[in-house]
Amino acid sequence: MTLQPKQLLGIAHAERARLGRTIQYAPPDSWQAQSACEGWSNRDVMAHLAAQETAAAQVVGGEEAEEFRAFREANGGELWVDGFNEWAVAVRADRPARQIAIDWGRAADLFLRRVSEIPPEDWSRRRVPWVAGEIAIRYLVQSRIVEWWLHGEDIRQGAGLEENLQHWPIHLVNDMGIRMLPYALGLAGLSFPGHSIRVDLEGVGGGSWHWGLAPRETPARDKKPDAFVEGRAPAFALVAGRRVAADLFLDDGNLVIGGDEDLALAVLEHIRAYVE
């Protein structure tokens, strides 16, 4: 299902507000605690998000992303995702956690305001520069929702807060992971032309997808999928977000595979809901 711009913007505003409440309720001493994102404290997670939102607001506004430029200047003109993420956290090492959170909130609000000013007819054709190349506006918005949910859960876990499951952000994490399967498999040197997978997920964030596993391939309506994955949507989202290995959920029954099981396992091993 493809969401209309108004729907997607509404979900984005709600998820921005929800992450804001997570920040508000996190105990002050939890910002230096280890997050669920390996190698990063909760404070580092917010520094990463502050950099991403600042850049997103700038490129949507037709400006150059200042930190992308600074990183390139410091690294021989190159920009790569992992390197930029680590650099963006490091340059904020001396800023108080509160200031980082304020910077993130202001940048997120500016991003959402600028996106809301784009005519709906431009959502499908307008593209902006991003860390791994140009990206369509609708997918930039979806990617921000994905990161807000995933990193919000990272912070909640690191701060000792209970998880807060919501349908649309989890659904969009799953949707992004499935849409990116040809890219993710390609990163691992895998290619499955003519093959497809069906994913049927239930519960919060659930939905159904039948997706081609090679770039620019859409399976025919009557094509039988070569493999399938079924199970609980929140579990699949944690796998797509690369927070939990699929084996855990396959062992406890929250995810089930069928058809070509080797193909289904390859999908679950390499799926990712964001560029890294």
- Kindly list the distances between the CA atom of residue 169 and the CA atoms of 82, 109, 214, 258, 264, in Å, as whole numbers in the listed order: 24, 18, 26, 26, 24
Note the pLDDT tens digit of each residue in 217-236: 999 999 999 999 999 999 99
Same domain, 39 and 138: yes
The answer to whether position 231 is within a domain reads: yes
The answer to whether position 275 is within a domain reads: no
pLDDT score of 164 more than 90: no
Distance between CA atoms of residues 217 and 182, nearest Å: 9
Same domain, 157 and 36: yes
Mean pLDDT, range 36-42, rounded to an integer? 86
Q: What is the pLDDT of residue 22?
A: 94
Residue 29 near residue 37, CB atoms below 8 Å: no
Comparing CA positions, the residue from 56, 23, 232 lying closest to residue 143 is 56
Note the pLDDT tens digit of each residue in 43-66: 999 999 999 999 999 999 999 999
Which range marks the domain in which residue 194 is found?
172-270
Note the pLDDT tens digit of each residue in 111-124: 999 999 999 888 88
Instruction: Read off the tokens for 200.
Output: 């049927």
What percent of the chain has a predicted confidence (pLDDT) above 90?
87
pLDDT score of 2 more than 80: no
Distance between CA atoms of residues 210 and 70, nearest Å: 41
Choosing from 116, 146, 164, the residue where a domain stops is 164
Q: What is the pLDDT of residue 205?
A: 97
How many folded domains does the chain comprise? 2
The answer to whether position 56 is within a domain reads: yes
Q: What is the pLDDT of residue 78?
A: 92
DSSP assignment of 229-261 equals EEEEHHHHHHHHTTSS-HHHHHHHTSEEEEESH
pLDDT bin (cut points 50, 70, 90) of residue 256 is: very high
The answer to whether position 187 is within a domain reads: yes
Note the pLDDT tens digit of each residue in 77-112: 999 999 999 999 999 999 999 999 999 999 999 999
pLDDT score of 1 more than 70: no
Of the listed ranges 123-132, 176-185, 194-203, the least confidently predicted one is 123-132
Q: What is the pLDDT of residue 218?
A: 94
The model's pTM: 0.95
